[in-house]
Amino acid sequence: MPSKTISLRIEAYEKLKDARRFPGESFSQVVLRAQWHDEGMTGAELLRHYRDHGPFFSEDGLDRIEQLKELDIPAEDKRRSS
């Protein structure tokens, strides 16, 4: 059977490993039984959620996100030789 090699961050690998139902279950089996949401939230759903539950983030949380965005730098391009 053909296969592909992929790279995962360690935390993604651990999450995938923890999702196995039994020790011999392959990662392919885990991924194939995963449920993927085909559509995101619509504007109407977002508005309804906001009205029912309030904002997703507090003002402090949004300020912290902005601070972190300012510190963000692009990842090194490992395909480009130095």
Domain ranges of the chain: 7-36, 38-73
Contact 30, 19 (CB under 8 A): yes
Give residue 82's pLDDT: 56
* Res. 12: pLDDT tops 70: yes
Give residue 54's pLDDT: 84
- Tell me: the pLDDT tens digits for 28-57? 999 999 887 777 888 898 889 889 988 778
Mean of all residue pLDDT scores within the chain: 87
